[in-house]
Amino acid sequence: MAVLNRMDWYDLARTTNWSPTYVTEDELFPPLMSGAFGLPQDAWEKYDEPYKQTYPEYVKVQRDKDAGAYSVKAALERSRIFENADPGWKSVMKAHYGAIARGEYAAASAEARMMRFSKAPGMRNMSTLGCLDEIRHGQMQLYFPHEHVAKDRQMDWAFKAYDTNEWGMIAARHFFDDIMMTRDAISVSIMLTFSFETGFTNMQFLGLAADAAEAGDHTFANLISSIQTDESRHAQIGGPALKVLIENGQKAEAQKRVDIAVWGAWKLFSVLTGPIMDYYTPLEHRKQSFKEFMEEWIVAQFERALTDMGLDLPWYWDIFLKDIAETHHGMHMGSYFWRPTVWWNPAAGVSPDERAWLEEKYPGWNDTWGQCWDVIIDNVVDGNMAMAYPETLPYVCNMCQLPILGTPGKQWNVKDYPLEYNGRLYHFGSEVDRWCFQQEPERYAGHMSIVDRFLAGMIQPMDLGGALAYMNLAPGECGDDAHNYAWAEVYRAMRTAKKAG
């Protein structure tokens, strides 16, 4: 029997809307969950997905992908890549798995919301496959690190991180809860798939895969590029939804969701991916600077995706373009200086050679972040370690939940963006974070940042020990310098040489 070509039957087969008679349309698709923007079912039937795949095709392709990634892992399991890896590279893996693995499971439920509640049949089909993708990503990114748990207790955070009140995880949860766990199906498609996945997962999963391959970690490189092939498919769920919204006069609402999600994603990447690319990855294995990756993936590609869609660049684009050369240096300094509060060991990344690279990639680095690092380095060289650690909390933003920071040294521009709302004083790290809050204050107003919790007496005793216990960081899990300060030796030698000279 002849089999029809997929394109001869796909559109018809997935046209699964009907006119409900036993219940109302609003009962079948509750607006709160469906987010239909007041549009009836037939408006959403015009949703035309760019990626049409059937279930048997999907299973066949996914099976091959899994076979590829798992066989690389099996082949290299005895290679001792992990044992021999630079400690900075191990920190890359720990930060990545902790911040991402369980978030993938959460993303499966966000995809499931689109699968059940979207009024667009094409979206329901694509997100059925997207949901299976995310389950795969969760499983793989827990299975792959598991072989290292016995060797290194911090690897346990691949599973544990999302259950903790560690400050970075509060930030990650706040963002993902906002864009994918607490939004209607259509908003999820715009904020998670179009904004976050089209824009940013390329950075984490392709940019980082390039660094991983350079560093010789082929298991990790294969794993995350395998994941990215799924992301680049289901990231396309949001585009046709945007088209429907724009055609039906809903551009402003669509644009607002894009602007909020892109900013939150940017902040999260500035703390997670920025330090990884510009400080933790060993110098000889760096493919491009974080800023160069951002310019390639976000500025060049995502800008085009936005304008092709008929959307505008976010109103804050000039601020964003300036920040991609700045914010992550501060996020790195913050997670390094407060290193006992993270579940990986930050690599300082400030040896003379690395500083020369930073100065080349970010002209002026030595006069700004370098000024602060000079003081830190002196303390480490002098063995004055008490001064190389903090004794208080950084103030964090009530939107992104990350430290409020700016450029130090000769270009000092650090600034708070406060807002009083219902008698409470909120603090934000930028004009954009404050703007996001103001779009829907009641959505965010009740949340307590880690500093709010500290001030409310929820962290006891009110010292580092109490804070680490609150963040679920057990002894042996707290971060410290990835290289045990070995990088300071060259500064010590330089100083001795200078004295002798």
Nearest to other proteins of 122, 334 (CB atom): 334
Please choose which of Fe ion, other proteins, none residue 427 contacts, taking the beta carbon within 5 to 8 angstroms, the exact cut-off set by kind.
other proteins
Report the nearest approach of Fe ion to the CB of residue 203 (Å): 13
Helix (H, G, I), strand (E, B) or coil at 299: helix
Nearest to other proteins of 215, 333 (CB atom): 333
Residue of minimal CB distance from Fe ion? 137
Q: CA-to-CA distance for 388 and 351, rounded, in angstroms?
A: 16
Report the nearest approach of Fe ion to the CB of residue 197 (Å): 5
Of residues 259-298, which lie at the interface with Fe ion (CB under 5 A)? none
Convert residues 442-481 into a mask of x (bound to Fe ion by CB under 5 A) and - (unbound): ----------------------------------------
DSSP string, 252-269: HHHHHHHHHHHHHHHHHH
137 near Fe ion, rule: CB under 5 A = yes
Please choose which of other proteins, Fe ion, none residue 264 contacts, taking the beta carbon within 5 to 8 angstroms, the exact cut-off set by kind.
none
- Amino acid sitting at position 299: V
Report the nearest approach of other proteins to the CB of residue 354 (Å): 18
Nearest to other proteins of 55, 389 (CB atom): 389
Report the nearest approach of other proteins to the CB of residue 274 (Å): 14
Strands 424-428 and 417-421: antiparallel
Report the nearest approach of other proteins to the CB of residue 385 (Å): 11
Please choose which of Fe ion, other proteins, none residue 374 contacts, taking the beta carbon within 5 to 8 angstroms, the exact cut-off set by kind.
other proteins
Backbone angles phi, psi at 150, to 5 degrees: -70, -20
Joined together, the tokens standing for residue 322 give 């300036």
Please choose which of Fe ion, other proteins, none residue 334 contacts, taking the beta carbon within 5 to 8 angstroms, the exact cut-off set by kind.
other proteins
Nearest to Fe ion of 134, 433 (CB atom): 134
- CA-to-CA dists, residue 77 to 67, 81, 214, 222, 256, angstroms: 15, 8, 18, 14, 46
- CA-to-CA dists, residue 211 to 8, 161, 184, 226, 390, angstroms: 43, 24, 36, 15, 31
**Is 161 in contact with 138 (CB distance < 8 Å)?**
no
Q: Which part of the chain contacts Fe ion (CB under 5 A), choosing from 93-101, 133-141, 333-341, 418-426?
A: 133-141
Convert residues 205-244 into a mask of x (bound to Fe ion by CB under 5 A) and - (unbound): --------------------------x-------------
**Is 200 in contact with 107 (CB distance < 8 Å)?**
no
Q: Any alpha helices (H) in 118-182, and if so which ranges? A: 121-149, 157-160, 167-176
**Is 143 in contact with 104 (CB distance < 8 Å)?**
no
Please choose which of Fe ion, other proteins, none residue 104 contacts, taking the beta carbon within 5 to 8 angstroms, the exact cut-off set by kind.
Fe ion
Helices 121-149 and 55-76, interaxial angle, to 10°? 10
- List of residues contacting other proteins (CB under 8 A): 330, 333-334, 337, 369, 371-372, 374-376, 379, 387-388, 390-395, 403-409, 412, 414-416, 418, 425, 427, 451, 454-455
Nearest to other proteins of 238, 370 (CB atom): 370
**Is 346 in contact with 293 (CB distance < 8 Å)?**
no
Among 86, 104, 166, 477, binds Fe ion (CB under 5 A): 104
Q: CA-to-CA distance for 403 and 335, rounded, in angstroms?
A: 9
Count how many residues are written for the chain: 501
Could you identify the residue written with the tokens 């911090």? Answer: 154
Please choose which of other proteins, Fe ion, none residue 321 contacts, taking the beta carbon within 5 to 8 angstroms, the exact cut-off set by kind.
none
Q: Which part of the chain contacts Fe ion (CB under 5 A), choosing from 33-41, 132-140, 431-439, 482-490?
A: 132-140
Nearest to other proteins of 55, 412 (CB atom): 412
Nearest to other proteins of 202, 398 (CB atom): 398
Report the nearest approach of other proteins to the CB of residue 479 (Å): 17
Q: How many Å is the Cα radius of gyration of the chain?
A: 24
**Is 197 in contact with 235 (CB distance < 8 Å)?**
yes
Please choose which of Fe ion, other proteins, none residue 137 contacts, taking the beta carbon within 5 to 8 angstroms, the exact cut-off set by kind.
Fe ion
**Is 279 in contact with 458 (CB distance < 8 Å)?**
no
Which chain residues interact with Fe ion by CB under 5 A?
104, 134, 137, 231
